[in-house]
Structure 1
Amino acid sequence: MFKKLLAMTFITTLLLAAPKGTYAATETYQIDRTALNKGLIAVNYTHNPDAKTIVRISKGNENYDYNLTNGARYPLQRGNGTYSVLIAQLISDNKYKVISKESVELKLENENAVFVQSIPLINWNGHTKAVVQTTKLTNAAKTDMEKTAAIYTYITHNIKYDYEKAQSVKTDYIPNLDAVYDSSKGICYDYAAIFAAMARSQNIPTRLLMGYEASAPSTYHAWNQVFLNGQWVTIDTTYDATRVQNGEKTPMIKNAADYTITQVY
């Protein structure tokens, strides 16, 4: 229900094509580990502001690519262990030069801590409009399940699917949560991001997932998992919003077996 992110589609090959040990001496990049106890790192740098730069965070065979923004905090969301952080700069025609590479060791007491943070793909703070709304929605809720249900009900009743946007969205699109809230419409990526921000703002561990759903196995999709009562449960506000707004009944928690996950945030 949205196009794959640019970094997922072609950056992998281009980075592998870069000569080993090709680093730019004139560029300064520093891994900021200040928020490592939350499962986050930042990259501080001094470089040509016109040069596009990416951060690749890898663990095992899994790679996550992000456009580099000075001071932005990137998640180490694949559990404790050793991560590789690689920085590469666009030199011409979608060709990237490796500038820096180092390892980061993650040792969290609670590995779910990263899933209550603001990250580039789920960018929120206490002033984000959906987060302010969440405080009102969950005021009387006593449990994480009740809070999750209140957030789910709000989204599925109030946000409509944007079919026009789904056809025109660019491959490097990242949701602007205030814009989604104001327009009350979006694509699956918007639904999953705003749901994650709202739940995370209540300190409920929430993942944004990308991949495929069984009823549309060739359509790239985004949905959520929420940690409730000691286990991860699957919630899909995109499909459910259409059902709810058509007057259909549908369970909030879905069958995880109906989903194939390719990326976890």
Structure 2
Amino acid sequence: MKKILVSIVILSVLVFSGTPDYAISKLKLAHENDRPEIVTLSQGAVGESDMLLLVEKDGVRYQYAVPKDEISQYPLQMGSGVYTVRLMAHIQGNRYKEVESLKIDVEAIENDKLYTQSISEINWSSQSDAVIKAKQLTDKLDHDLDQIQAIYTFVTQNIAYDYEKASTVKSGYIPDIDEIYKASTGICYDYSALFASMTRSLGIPTKMVKGYSEAVGGQYHAWNEVYVNGAWHVVDTTIDAAYSQAGYNTELFKLASKYTAAKVY
């Protein structure tokens, strides 16, 4: 089997407080009591500026590229405590200014609330082609494990690894699950976002995890974890697609000891 290529994109951000000198309108960060697991950014016109959203807690930072002219959602997945959420506007180079910020005190959140949402990195709706396919695949299956198996089998048998994309992907890339579904190709980030979108749409708590794995020689990688039968289990559709499409049998769940998480979504 060919070695699976994974690109690592690192962006350093110099943060400057204060309001930018140019106009940014119709921006609103919101955290609702009835949806404590996410922050919503309602975004209208943003001028020519690129935007980042920073989610920070206890010295740990998640950094998100913000899509223009659409509503996007971001998870608060680092456990209970006080979060700082900051919307940043690009100035030049790696310099950014703060546009808006929120302090949010979060209590413990259940898995089925946190990991079944559509978020910026795992963006889906009931009209998404991949979500419609997930419903078709599992229409007559009553148990979560059977539904997970059906989605896993579909992804590993139908999505091919895109080596060219892996070598050219740029900072700020966010998977579009319908584009991945239509093209039937992707990188590890795409596999994990597609799988998570399909299982989350069925109400199955699913994480997308980025980190390092022995399965790819210790390189940076993306995979999933699903919550079933009271425990989290590792699923790696990227690796298993290569084996499955080469005619080998694969196991649904992987050894967690071979995977080291850096970021969880």
TM-score, normalised to structure 2's length?
Answer: 0.89
How far off its partner does 1:27 sit?
Answer: 5.5
Alignment pair present for 1:9 and 2:11: yes
Segment drifting more, 215-224 vs 72-81: 215-224
What amino acid is the match of 1:9? Answer: L
| Separation in 2, partners of 1:178, 1:71 | 18
The gaps in structure 2 that reach 5 residues or longer are: none
Among residues 56, 59, 66, which one is paired with 2:57 in the alignment? 59
Residue 74 of structure 1 aligns with which residue?
74
Deviations 1:78-100 (A, max 9, x none): 22221111222111122112333
Residue 188 of structure 1 aligns with which residue?
188
Asked if 2 retains the 8 angstrom alpha-carbon contact of 1:37 and 1:108, the reply is no
| Separation in 2, partners of 1:251, 1:71 | 38
Asked if 2 retains the 8 angstrom alpha-carbon contact of 1:115 and 1:205, the reply is yes
Q: Tell me: CA distance 1:182–1:46, structure 2 relative to 1, closer, same or farther (3 Å).
A: closer
Segment drifting more, 57-66 vs 30-39: 30-39
How far off its partner does 1:46 sit?
Answer: 6.6
TM-score, normalised to structure 1's length?
Answer: 0.89
Asked if 2 retains the 8 angstrom alpha-carbon contact of 1:83 and 1:105, the reply is yes
Segment drifting more, 45-54 vs 161-170: 45-54
| Separation in 1, partners of 2:200, 2:253 | 18
Asked if 2 retains the 8 angstrom alpha-carbon contact of 1:213 and 1:260, the reply is yes
Classify the secondary structure of the residue corresponding to 2:115.
helix
| Separation in 1, partners of 2:43, 2:141 | 43
How far off its partner does 1:132 sit?
Answer: 0.5
Segment drifting more, 79-88 vs 195-204: 79-88
| Separation in 2, partners of 1:229, 1:135 | 21
Asked if 1 retains the 8 angstrom alpha-carbon contact of 2:36 and 2:106, the reply is no
Classify the secondary structure of the residue corresponding to 1:254.
coil
Q: Tell me: CA distance 1:233–1:224, structure 2 relative to 1, closer, same or farther (3 Å).
A: same
The gaps in structure 1 that reach 5 residues or longer are: none
Deviations 1:189-241 (A, max 9, x none): 11000000000000000000001111434422110000011111000000001
In the TM superposition, 1:150-229 aligns within 5 A as 150-229=150-229
How far off its partner does 1:43 sit?
Answer: 2.6
Count of residue pairs brought into register by the alignment: 257
Residue 122 of structure 2 aligns with which residue?
122
Residue 50 of structure 1 aligns with which residue?
48
More helix by share: 1
How far off its partner does 1:45 sit?
Answer: 5.6
| Separation in 2, partners of 1:108, 1:40 | 13
| Separation in 2, partners of 1:130, 1:199 | 10
Q: Percent identity?
A: 34
| Separation in 1, partners of 2:94, 2:216 | 31
What amino acid is the match of 1:155? Answer: V
Deviations 1:39-97 (A, max 9, x none): 11113467642111211001212211112345311111122221111222111122112
Q: Tell me: CA distance 1:152–1:253, structure 2 relative to 1, closer, same or farther (3 Å).
A: same
What amino acid is the match of 2:245? Answer: Q
Deviations 1:101-124 (A, max 9, x none): 331122355244111011111110
RMSD: 2.1
Alignment pair present for 1:22 and 2:18: yes
How far off its partner does 1:145 sit?
Answer: 0.4
Please list every run of at least 4 consecutive aligned residues from structure 1 whose deviation after the TM superposition is greater than 4 angstroms.
24-29, 45-48
| Separation in 2, partners of 1:155, 1:45 | 33
